[in-house]
Amino acid sequence: MKHMNKNTEKSFLSKVYVIVALIIAILALLLYLILSGGAEKIQKAISSQDKPAHTQTPEADDKTPESTQTPSAEPSSSADTEDPAETAEASSEPEPTPSATAEITDDIESDDSLTKIVSPSRTIASSYVPANLVMPDVPCILDENQNLMRADAAAALEEMFAAAGNDGYELFLISGYRSYEFQQMLRKYWVEKKGEAYADELDTKPGGSEHQLGLAANIGTTDGKCELNVCFADTGAYAWLKENSWKYGYIERYPESKQDITGITFSPWNFRYVGKDAAERIYQSGKTMEEYYGLS
């Protein structure tokens, strides 16, 4: 500095002041942008140029929770739901699945409906005999008093047994359709053998068993291991059925710890055909038919 004259020093200092002032101005502008959210606007503008117009950035999604919650907040959708439990579930979940809010329109009353519910407290007329009973082409006792099924249930059973076979489980149809008269015989047999209280826990009440619909299948394995015994629940075949039966339209009908709801003791061998669409929904709900259709 000593060698600089006054004017040179003065002009150098003024340049420094201008640079410092510019830096301060830029910093102030950046601070303003950050505080006002301008940076995000700029970032969004940049990212929306990079992507097709219809895709939203994650930031944009986070900022619009109102729009994604609208379905559950709509009064009409909850008013349509008949089951109070369903309504409570739907309104507490931020992103309800379509099945949680959609109205269930399956017919559980008509005798020929695939989702008809029969139980000891919802009996069917002694005269009811389903149409289209056929013998499914699966391993079974070749007795038409034991193994007939409704045609669609039989076809699905064949498909399911083939798939299980491919995975190493040789399934066996123990019992399908039962006439009212056959149920009377069966009931008498169990009452005499084990007493009335025991018989009441099984799905053997005449007119109170879904076997009369031709849609219930008692399933075991060709080796007969744990046939019609709760120890069937410990087999790989049961695990396979529990995980896969819904894909073929079958659901486990009398699960463990649900006797208070179904009226029937845990019957891991008993699967019920309801059609693929209903089976998927009921399976995904994790409920029994009684719970799913609001009967409990």
Residue 179 CA to residue 173 CA, distance in Å, equals 17
Check if the beta carbon of residue 171 is closer than 8 Å to that of residue 193.
Answer: no
Instruction: Taking the CA atoms of 155, 159, 162 and 168 in sequence, report the sign of the dihedral they define.
Output: negative
Give the number of residues in contact with Zn ion, rule: CB under 5 A.
3
With contacts defined by CB under 5 A, name the span among 65-73, 143-151, 160-168, 266-274 that binds Zn ion. Answer: 266-274
Residue 268: CB minimum distance to Zn ion, A: 11
Report yes or no: 267 and 210 within 8 Å, Cβ to Cβ: no
Q: Which stretch binds Zn ion (CB under 5 A): 157-165, 191-199, 231-239, 264-272?
A: 264-272
- Binding range to Zn ion, per CB under 5 A, among 85-93, 95-103, 195-203, 237-245: 195-203
CB of 267 to Zn ion, least distance (A): 6
> Using CB atoms, what's the residue nearest to Zn ion?
270
C-alpha count within 13 angstroms, C-beta hemisphere, residue 60: 12
User: Quick check: 218 binds Zn ion (CB under 5 A)?
Assistant: yes
CB 220 → Zn ion: shortest distance, Å? 11
> What residues from 102 to 131 belong to the interface with Zn ion (CB under 5 A)?
none
Rounded to a whole number of angstroms, the minimum distance from the CB of residue 87 to Zn ion is: 33
Give the three-state DSSP class for 273: strand
Helix 6-36 and helix 38-50, axial crossing angle in degrees, nearest 10: 70
Residue 56 C-beta: closest distance to Zn ion, Å = 51
Is residue 270 a contact residue for Zn ion (CB under 5 A)?
yes
**Which among 41-49, 136-144, 196-204, 229-237 is the span making contact with Zn ion, rule CB under 5 A?**
196-204
Type of residue at 157: L
Q: How far is CA 21 from CA 141, 188, 274, in A?
A: 96, 102, 78
Give contact residues for Zn ion (rule: CB under 5 A): 203, 218, 270
